[in-house]
Amino acid sequence: MYIIAGLYGRQRLKTPKGSQTRPTSSRLRESLFNICRQSIEGAKFLDIFAGSGAMGLEALSRGADSATFIEYHKDAVQCIESNIQLLNVKGQCQILRGDVFTKLQLLNTQEMKFDIIYADPPYRTLAPHSSHYFSAEIVHWLDKHLLLVDGGILFIEEAFRSEPQLENLQTLQLKDSRRMGEAVLQQYILTPETNILKTEL
């Protein structure tokens, strides 16, 4: 695993051992940052189910202002900490360890806003107390809580044919969905119009 491009390009990163996390492919990372290349400079980036932290650190390498990481597993958190130290970017990073929805609610309570949010939940895995996969629950939660700025982008990675199929979203709009091997990368946007709609509800 390594940083693909930018200030820290080709820098190798540590990855968690075991099967609790799944590294995002270089192809998908490259595609994601090509999509948001006009938005990455100075951005606040949120990396959900962060694993090694590669996505957030790639964002910093390409010009993002800050990266916040949400991760449950202790070994992965330690890996993120090591990679942050390796790149000497501690001042630009925040790590939140624990249940993803608890930490998202914390950010919401703090009225945090992000330009880009990326979520890579376990493939085909039901969220606790839900009949929906984590990927769909994340989209539903973010649709109801404005953690994105106007024009902000949400990326969701899920296994092919298991990606969210959601209707009646209030604030988010599905802009693009593309298959990459066994994965699908969905892109949602928050527009000023949907933001206004949400505040009126």
Q: Provide, rounded to the nearest whole percent, the portion of the chain with pLDDT above 90.
A: 83
Banded pLDDT at 19 (limits 50, 70, 90): low
Q: What is the mean pLDDT of residues 120-133?
A: 92
pLDDT at residue number 197: 46
Q: Which residues contact 19 (CB under 8 A, 6 or more apart)?
A: none
Banded pLDDT at 193 (limits 50, 70, 90): low
pLDDT at residue number 94: 98
Pick the CATH number of 26-200 from 1.10.620.20, 3.40.50.150, 3.40.50.300, 3.40.50.2300: 3.40.50.150
Q: pLDDT digits over 88-100, tens only?
A: 999 999 999 999 9
Q: What is the mean pLDDT of residues 162-191?
A: 92
Mean pLDDT of the chain: 92
- What would the two tokens of residue 201 be? 């509800």
Q: pLDDT digits over 102-117, tens only?
A: 999 999 999 999 999 9
Is-contact 97 74, C-beta < 8 A? yes
Q: Output the pTM of the full model.
A: 0.92
Q: What is the mean pLDDT of residues 56-78?
A: 97
Residues 80, 81, 82, 84, Cα dihedral to 10°:
80
- What would the two tokens of residue 148 be? 């994105």
pLDDT at residue number 146: 87
Residues 180, 151, 97, 80, Cα dihedral to 10°:
60
pLDDT at residue number 95: 98
For the chain, the structural domain boundaries read 26-200
